[in-house]
Structure formats: C-alpha cells, structure tokens
Structure 1
C-alpha cells in the first residue's frame, strides 16, 4: 500500500504551480504577495518526487484540473526555473531576503564626479602619502586637466613614478577599485573629517585680485593680524600683475601667447625694468620690438584706469590658466610682501 504524502498548504500550491507549467504559472506569480512567494519558494525546495496519485488528490483539493503527465520530478528546480523566467533577479533576491523589490538599497553613487570638483591641492595632499600605484589608478580615472594639475604639485620623484605606472596600468580589479574609492570617500570627500573651504578661499582671492599691489599688501597684513583661518589657501590663489617675474618662463610664455600686443603694451606703461623685462622676454622678437617702440613714446594722455584694467586682464588670465592646471601660482612672493 502506497503511503500518502503529508504536505503543507504552501507545498501543495507549489506542486500545482509546477504542474501548470511555466506559461500559466508565470502569469499567476504576479498576483501573489511577497510573503506568499517566499513561502512558495521555500516549500518548493523541500519537494522532490510527487506520485501521480498524490498529485491528483492535491489538485482535487483545489478543485482544478491542471495535471498532465505521470507525476512531478525535481519540483525545486522547476520552481526556480519558473521564478527566474517570471521575475527579475532583483525581485527574486528581494523576496528571499524579506524586503520589497522596489526598496532594495541602491548601489553607492560613483565618487568620481565629486573627486573631479576637488581643488588639485586637496587631491595631491591625499595622493602624496599613498603608494604610486594607487595614485596612478586615481589619476587615470579623473580628467586630464585635474591629473596634470595634481602632478605639478607632487614632488618630482613621485611624479615620475606615478606617470610610469599610469603608462603600464591595466584593468584594475573591482575589489581594488572599491578599496581605493572607500578611502577617497572617507579621507577626502567626508566633510566630517575634512572641511572644504576651497569655495570661500576662491571668493576671497578673487576679491583681493581686484586690488592694486599696495592695497593688497595692506589687506593681507590685516588678515594676518586678525588670524584669518585658511589664509594660506587664499594666498595660494592670489596673483597680481607685479608678481609676473616670480612665474616660470614657460608659464609666462603661455600667458602672453593668448594676449594682444595692445593689452601687453598698456599694462607695461609705468612698469619697472624688472617687470618689463620679465614680460618682454616671454613674447616673440617681433612683438617685443613693437611694444618697445610704443613704450619709448611715453605714457602721456593714457589714463591710469586703462593701465590698471590691462594689468587686471593679464592677472585674471594667469589665475584662470593656473586654475585649469596649466601651472601653479607663486604664492611665496605674496607672503613675503605681506
């Protein structure tokens, strides 16, 4: 005599769904609640072989005529197949982990758009204490402009090692990438450990860049006397036309390459010999002769406001190029003057 199987209600429902086949079962699964689906999955995984007689009794209990074939084999595998073809992997995972599919925690947002907004100095300070391979991986993920600006800040030996590794850098394993991103998020982007005052420093520096040299020196002294926080960051963004001799030659060449001879001539009106030579040595021979010829005629009839406006134009161009990573501003002369 064949023994009758003792099945729970969930196991009986799972058995019928498997018997119905994938097309019909798939349509019905959409009507089950999350708790019911979880119970069905767990019940189906306990099923193995259901004899035809037991299956008929189960179907009779549900008052339906779904049976076909000679019984059910490997019910758990068939139920998994139905679920995988009916629901997305996220939905199945959500059901088995006891949470709603539409409330599954999203993947952490990429940190690289936020890294791209950082000041080069801040990223360079982090990379200076890291292994060259880590620095190479980070700089390979940011824009060429930011990477170039950071490299110029780093020490030369470290800079060469990083570039060498960037050339040979292959695909970075996901695990390693996650570790680096975690460190960047915690040590660079986490505002609780590092207060980002770069936007305020830029605003103050832009204001101070509008002042004449004597006015700037006086304000810097006042700021130091008031023990202004982050003043070093402000100084690093200040540039006055009179500081042009402190720039490297290649930086000056880049600056004056995009400026008209009229603006340069106007800015040099009344300039001392050292400043004039620093500017003229950075432009072509033909342009230099033209400017020297204009300067030899004197500055009579030329408004001081026009001269200062030309100098501010050159200073603004210098600050913009430095911010884009073309070179670094010489902050030392400003500090010494103050």
Structure 2
C-alpha cells in the first residue's frame, strides 16, 4: 500500500504500529472508544506496509506537525474555519449542535438530555425508532424515559426491543441523522436558558445562610437582578401553593424521616397543610415524631427541604402535580 492511497485512519493506524508499543498503548488510552474502533478496523486491514512507506509517513507527520507550530482549538477557531467553506446558516447550525448537550457521539449527547424532554419528543416517533434509541443510551436513562411514555406506547417499544436484532448500520445512521436534524438542533436553539433562571436553581440548592448572604450582597449591587431571581426561585415554603391532591402525591414519594426533619424547620401553616392531607392517625404519628426529634441542625433541615422541593419539581416535570409559576398566587 502506497502513502498516497492511504486514508487518514490507515495512516494513524500505521503510525501506531511503527512507534514503541508502550507509547501506542498510552495514545490509545487517550482516545474515545469510537476512535479506537475506527483505528482498530483500519489496523486490521492494513496488510503489509513497506519500510519506505513508513518512512514517508513519519516524514509527512513530522512536517505537518512542525509547520503548524503550537495549536489551539476553540469554538472561535472552529467557527472561523467553517465560515471559509460553508454558508453562514449551516455554520450556525453546526456550532449550535457543538455547543449543545455534552458528549462526543449522538448517544452520549442524548444521555445528557432531560428524560422528560427526550420522552416528549420520542412519544411522537415510531415505536421501532424509539426502541433503537433506548437500546443505545445508558440503561438507567432509558428506564426513566420509558417510564414517562404513555403506557400502551411504552409496551409497543418494549416488545420491539425484545424482538430487535442487530440494527443495520444504514438504519442506525438514519436514526442519528434524524435526531441531529430534528431534535438536537432544535434543542440547541431552544435550550438557551435565561441566566436568572439558572441562578434561581442554584440558589434553591444553597443552605439558608449562604442564600441570604449571597442574595443580600447581590441586592446591594443589582437590586433588579436579585428581585428577579427571588421571583424565579421555588422554595420549600412555596409548597403551600400546591393543592390537596398535589400534596398527597408528593408525600407518597417522600421518605417519612426526611419529611419529619423538613417539617421540623417549617412554618406552622406549612406543617398544618401536610397534616390536613393525612389521616388522623398518620397525622398524630407525624406530630409525635416532630416533637420527639429534639434540636435538629439547620443544615439537616435545609438538606431535607431541598430534597423534597427537588421531588416536587420532578413530579411537576412528569405532569403529576402542578407548580405555580414564580411567586404568583393561585386563584381558584
């Protein structure tokens, strides 16, 4: 095989075979599994490479590396290079995909997409397509997505997965192309969240002392930003805006000990709301448990309350309960 007839993966594979085995192993360990697979395929089909070709290959590699000097890759340099050869709209689409959810492959990217968002998209696809997608993402993520699909549709998907054999490469590539064009690119465009919303979620997870200190300092520097963040935050006290059905659904998914600690530091009104939605016997037991706790660290109360708020948000994302937006009061 001559140097001119070699592909990029074949050249890389030949270089790996030419260098010391220990160095080759180190290099392979730094590559992604897809790159290792491509190199392995190229390596297994190389056949015999003459010493002259290996020498030319090494010279070509050294010249390419030496002429470039130091290299720095970034979003900006990538975008600048693409603009020289592609239409502006296509470059914008590619950069949006790159800046989208983290991951080198499409399946890794999907693993970083919220299960609620992914399920909402997949419920409109063919069961066979959904079966292929769920077979490629991590099992725990696939399980969460499956649980959010309509029951009859989920059963169709399960049956397809049970009957599914190896997916042909062309079919898999078709699914990937569809996901890139229809889902990931739209997600990249719509997933640009307001910075205040992001900060509100961060503040929701702070302990009370840190939240008060940082928000207080922010208020001195930018009162409007602080007020907007407060309006977007959803705290344990905001659970008072849940209706009776929402409170009951929430309590079914919360550990009793966690609820006891959370209510230990809650207002009397919020305690009463939970107690009203329990049986008389269960309510009495909860009161006794709260009274029997004795002094509880504020940090433990905060952690329990944050955990319950997170559960409420998960239930809201699944459509099981409704959380009021911002600080607006509900009008019946």
Q: Which of structures 1 and 2 has the bigger CA Rg?
A: 1
Query: What's the TM-score once normalised by structure 2's chain length?
Result: 0.48
Query: What's the TM-score once normalised by structure 1's chain length?
Result: 0.47
Higher helix content, 1 or 2? 2
